[in-house]
Structure 1
Amino acid sequence: MMTHKQKTLTIYALPLVALCIPLMGNLLSKEVNWSASDFLIAGILLFTTAFLINLVRNTIRKQRQKVMICIFIVLALALIWIELAVGIFGSPWAGN
């Protein structure tokens, strides 16, 4: 059984692990081309998501509500990430 501190540490370690994937791609391949601002934006998005999920985990009591709110947070992250990457909505921040 994981303690509360271990769960919190895991929640905040996952964004670091996720950011290591494009970092390794940048270092080992010419096809991955992330700039420092790309890493900064991705880090802000991922750590904000981790913070919000941890906040929900610590404040909401009902398990069903926790799950629904966390799913909403992850879906919001996915939509923002996709918009920044390829521009499915055509906003001024759209990539490519």
Structure 2
Amino acid sequence: MSVTNEAELNAEINGSDIVLVDFYAQWCGPCKAMAPTLDKIDGEVAKVVKIDIEEAQDLATKYAVRSVPTFVVFKNGEATDQRAGGMTEGQLRSWLGTA
């Protein structure tokens, strides 16, 4: 699921218990490398929402995205943790379990 504005993001993060928001860019190699892992965990560990930082610069600014990929975990509509950089599937699963 891709979103481009705050209203869409709010609808997604308030509709699920755990949501992982992936701030990415089309030109980002690590972002592309993370895509299969994110597809794999989507709906299993967390709902995954993707935000292209070039299409939604206001959201990238709001969540202080300084590099891509940046991941923000939302639980019950509230941001609980944030991390930048690529991760293995195991690292991502572990982080989501503690975030």
- TM bucket, shorter chain: under 0.3
Q: Which has the higher contact order (CA 8 A, sep 6+)?
A: 2
Greater Rg, structure 1 or structure 2?
1
Q: TM-score, normalised by structure 2?
A: 0.27
Structure richer in helix, relative to its length: 1
Q: TM-score, normalised by structure 1?
A: 0.27
Structure richer in strand, relative to its length: 2
